[in-house]
């Protein structure tokens, strides 16, 4: 096991009707003037935004609102948010939405007190101060409610880049699974895929003897498989929604990733897909990740066999572990297809002839990337070609 730091100071308030307490928690964490940041019209239509604002008013907290966050959140809205916060002397940001909304809020939070361009933080500059953030989560997916990470897309060129800092971790996150019950099946499945991908990025490691982290990864994945079939069949299943929502947070605050090297190449490759086609991140991952597995599994056949046996319930073939490893990968792809995810370029709306463009945008040049298996441009091309033609 490698040395590590683990720090997850966010207070999580989980369960039915908890959004009505958001004013109380903003008060607890010192907010007096709040930017309420939200996305699509659904928060408005469902009455969620009204309930949130009422809770602020009940607690004597002033606020301004800024909506319009899109999936793959854009730099343009963040610039607008920063200006608004400065003008209105905002001292706390409340995100009411999913991962895109939280990531946008983090960009604003980092930029308000910074004299330069906030985009610097997405090009490698360290975040050293930020406004405090709270979240009311409406989609189980990104895990941004419990992480210090943020991914933003620069509209000019559709460049998708990320940043991360403990300073950007939300002070509190309110998780009411009932708020996710109205999500369409496709978006729900995209979230499920993202959650599972966050675990797999950590599961595939070259570090030995990290049984506790392995087992915690498997715990989240076993839960996701069981509960996902339930929620796709019955979107109103509160209990399944609850298990998935909490699993989504556990999957990405790094409790399932400590003490080991991690990979993250599937995420890196997918960012170029959703950057170019503006598709859902989870959908892109469903196409990329099993293809990445097929390309790299020979690097550590027994680890993929462990995945197959412990997570997908495959029988171990002791005479031919490679067969077991492949069966696990196929089981993952079948699962993704079962829950309605695309598994190849055609289903995603991507084009094989764009592969050179995707690699160009990746910007890898002659370099290499990734923690489990180092990939060069040619490897990424090969993975995208598998992804282009994959089938169950």
Task: State the minimum distance, in angstroms, from the CB of residue 83 to a copy of itself.
Answer: 32
DSSP secondary structure code for residue 316 in this structure: P
In the sheet with 172-175, reading across from the earlier edge strand, the strands are 62-66, 33-38, 92-97, 133-137, 172-175
Task: State the minimum distance, in angstroms, from the CB of residue 7 to a copy of itself.
Answer: 4
Kindly tell me the burial class for residue 386, based on how many C-beta atoms sit within 10 Å of its own C-beta (0-12, 13-18, 19 or more): middle
DSSP secondary structure code for residue 149 in this structure: E
As given in the structure block, the two tokens for residue 353 are: 């002839």
- For residue 206, count other CB atoms closer than 10 A to its CB: 14
DSSP secondary structure code for residue 125 in this structure: P
- Residue closer to a copy of itself by CB (options 87, 208) is 208
- Residue closer to a copy of itself by CB (options 89, 226) is 226
Helical pair 321-338 and 211-233, crossing angle rounded to 10 deg: 40
- Residue closer to a copy of itself by CB (options 8, 317) is 8
Task: State the minimum distance, in angstroms, from the CB of residue 92 to a copy of itself.
Answer: 18
- Residue closer to a copy of itself by CB (options 7, 365) is 7
Task: State the minimum distance, in angstroms, from the CB of residue 246 to a copy of itself.
Answer: 5
- Residue closer to a copy of itself by CB (options 72, 249) is 249
- Residue closer to a copy of itself by CB (options 151, 231) is 231
Task: State the minimum distance, in angstroms, from the CB of residue 135 to a copy of itself.
Answer: 14
Cβ-contact 48, 179 below 8 angstroms? yes
Task: State the minimum distance, in angstroms, from the CB of residue 157 to a copy of itself.
Answer: 38
Q: Which residues pair with 34 in a beta bridge?
A: 63, 92
Task: State the minimum distance, in angstroms, from the CB of residue 140 to a copy of itself.
Answer: 11
- Residue closer to a copy of itself by CB (options 215, 374) is 215
Q: Which residues bind a copy of itself (CB under 8 A)?
A: 1-9, 11-16, 18, 177, 208-212, 215-216, 218-220, 222-223, 226-227, 239-240, 242-243, 246-247, 250, 255, 258-259
Q: Give the closest residue to 153 by CA, choosing from 44, 38, 75, 77.
A: 75
The pairing of beta strand 62-66 with beta strand 33-38? parallel
């Amino acid at each position: 096991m490698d040395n590590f730091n683990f720090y997850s100071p966010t207070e999580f308030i989980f369960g039915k009707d908890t959004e009505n307490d958001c004013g109380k928690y903003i008060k607890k964490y010192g907010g007096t003037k709040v930017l309420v940041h939200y996305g699509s019209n659904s928060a408005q239509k469902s009455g969620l935004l009204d309930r949130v604002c009422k809770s602020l008013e009940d607690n004597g907290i002033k606020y301004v609102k800024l909506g319009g966050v899109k999936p793959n959140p854009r730099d343009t809205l963040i610039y607008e948010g920063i200006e608004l916060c400065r003008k209105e002397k905002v001292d706390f940001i409340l995100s009411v939405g999913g991962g895109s909304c939280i990531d946008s809020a983090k960009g604003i939070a980092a930029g308000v007190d910074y004299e330069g361009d906030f985009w610097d933080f997405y090009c490698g500059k360290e975040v050293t101060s930020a406004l405090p953030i709270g979240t009311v989560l409406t989609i189980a997916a990104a895990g941004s409610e419990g992480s210090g990470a943020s991914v933003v897309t620069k509209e000019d060129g559709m460049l998708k880049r990320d940043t991360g800092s403990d300073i950007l971790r939300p002070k509190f996150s309110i998780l009411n699974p009932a708020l996710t019950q109205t999500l369409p099946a496709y978006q729900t499945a995209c979230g499920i895929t993202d959650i599972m991908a966050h675990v797999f990025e950590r599961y595939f490691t070259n570090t030995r003897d990290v049984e506790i982290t392995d087992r915690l990864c498997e715990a989240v994945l076993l839960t996701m498989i069981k509960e996902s079939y339930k929620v796709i069949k019955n979107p109103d299943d509160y209990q399944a929604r609850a298990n998935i929502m909490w699993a989504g947070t556990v999957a990405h605050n790094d409790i399932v990733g400590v003490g080991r090297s991690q990979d993250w190449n599937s995420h890196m490759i997918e960012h170029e897909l959703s950057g170019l086609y503006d598709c859902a991140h989870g959908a892109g991952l469903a196409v990329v990740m099993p293809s990445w597995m097929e390309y790299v599994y020979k690097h550590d056949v027994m680890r993929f066999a462990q995945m197959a046996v412990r997570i997908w319930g495959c029988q171990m073939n002791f005479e031919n572990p490679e067969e077991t490893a492949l069966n696990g990968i196929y089981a993952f792809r079948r699962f993704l297809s079962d829950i309605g995810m695309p598994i190849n370029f055609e289903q995603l709306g991507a084009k094989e002839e764009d592969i050179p463009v995707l690699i160009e945008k990746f910007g890898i040049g002659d370099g290499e990337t990734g923690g489990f298996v180092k990939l060069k441009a040619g490897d990424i091309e090969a993975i995208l070609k598998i992804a282009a033609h994959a089938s169950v």
